[in-house]
Amino acid sequence: MIHAIKGMNDLLDEDALIYEKIIKTSEEVAKTYGYSYIEVPHLEVTPLFKRSVGESSDIVGKEMYEFLDKGGDSVCLRPEGTAGVVRAFIERKMDKAGVVKRWFYHGSMFRYEKPQRGRYREFHQFGLECFNIASVYEDASVIMILARIFEKLDIAYTLKINSLGSPECLQNYRAALRDYLTKVESNSDFKFCEDCAKRRLTNVIRVLDCKNDNCSKHLVNAPKLSEFLDDESRADFAKLQEILKDNGISFVIDERLVRGLDYYSKTAFEFESSEIGAKAAIAGGGRYDYLVEYLGGAKSYGVGFAMGVERVMDILKSKKLEQKPQNTYFCVLDTELLELAYKLVDDLRKAGKIINLSYDAKKLIKHLNTADKQNYKYFIAIGSDEASKNEVFFKDLESGEQKSIKYEVLKEIL
Ligand code: AMP
């Protein structure tokens, strides 16, 4: 038997319904904030991700599905959504024209990670990106979009926010952090872990992400990013907090919430949920005012987020979702009535009614049993008696009410 690749899952039945519900809810909310749908390819040239996600990141360093295509070009299955959207923005010269764009996307991302619950090699993100708006009100809006999505899906979360300041602030902070790490090691026997040693060379800020308890303990007194913020970043961060408070969004400030790369600036945020046991990040995002330039475009402001759909699905699966009954089960008692039923059903489908037509002719009671088992809302059967009077047998399976009704009335009842 041929199996699916490890860490890559089929999506069907109840999972597919939950997936659809998450995407539909997210789209609806994003649209109310002026965002519209964008689709970009799953496969892009490798340098796009090496530049945007950064060679020092685990994603590019260890996890990319990277290969040479038949033409000998190095390509990658996208590990995240922002890079492709930024490329599309630049390719259409919207950067040079200073166009304001608000786009949302959803689809598969690919990372060669160790598969486990909540961590897959093919997973889905719903994300959005806004270009050319400098106002911190948009940062608040992208956070509020997520808050509203989780509210609508009835998911409890913790929102963590931080400000990274400008690239200059980060530059100064990096130097201070490096000094601090050196001081800790020279004043004690303690050595930061191997990963941290690498991060110190490639991207020192990522030391703050270290999950090793010993490293964490020795980072408690590390310099704080907030001490390095310039006036504008400080004012924007204060304003962001004010907007969130005014709009009833609770948050905590997490000084260790960072994104390692230079083109991220000011707002950084993460939504966590502990509804499925251990705390897990369900979405993250922030401002990236230098990324468009970094990828060869003209200076353009940017802010966005990505939400992990599987993690949200896991939370919803752990709750009992009310199972909406399917719409209508339609059947015939005699084979020769199938053509008539087929036409009637087609008419109803044209009117947008959702109908499952059974092609088997069998006794009424047997059809009723099948419909009951499959959780239908309505049951309709045609026997020769009904057909001779242009009627069908109708039963509301929820209320139990049953009657004969004329063909013409069906559209109104279903
Ligand atoms: P990131 O692009 O790494 O900031 O991830 C954004 C969100 O995607 C995270 O908060 C997770 O919810 C989700 N995510 C990241 N990696 C995976 C993965 N391997 N499997 C499932 N979800 C993931």
159 contacts 250 by C-beta, under 8 angstroms: yes
Ligand 1 centroid to residue 95 C-alpha, Å = 28
Please tell me the residue having the least CA distance from ligand 1 atom 11: 308
For residue 121, the ligand 1 atom closest to its alpha carbon is 19
**Per the structure block, which two tokens stand in for 182?**
């050196």
- CB of 283 sitting under 6 A from ligand 1: yes
Cα 197 to Cα 87: distance, rounded to the nearest angstrom: 33
* Residue in 61, 80, 83, 49 with CA at minimum distance from that of residue 199: 61
63 ligand 1 Cβ < 6 A:
no
pLDDT category of residue 259 using cuts at 50, 70 and 90? confident
**Nearest residue (CA) to ligand 1, atom 20:** 119
Amino acid letter, residue 240: L
282 lines ligand 1 (CB under 6 A): yes
How confident is the model over 201-246, as pLDDT tens digits? 888 988 988 888 899 899 999 999 999 999 999 999 999 999 999 9
Nearest CA to ligand 1 atom 4: 284
Task: Determine if ligand 1 sits within 6 Å of the CB of residue 125.
Answer: yes
User: What's the confidence (pLDDT) of residue 198?
Assistant: 86
How many Å apart are CA 184 and CA 177, to the nearest integer? 11
The residues with which 298 forms a beta bridge, in sequence order, are: none
Strand ranges (DSSP E) for 90-145? 101-110, 122-131
Question: What is residue 148's predicted lDDT score, i.e. its pLDDT?
Answer: 98
Amino acid at 393: F
Between CA 414 and CA 409 the distance in angstroms is 9
Q: What percent of the chain has pLDDT over 90?
A: 81
pLDDT digits (tens, 9 = 90+) for 150-208: 999 999 999 999 999 998 999 999 999 999 999 999 988 889 999 898 888 888 988 98
Ordered alpha helix ranges (H), 213-302: 213-218, 231-246, 291-294
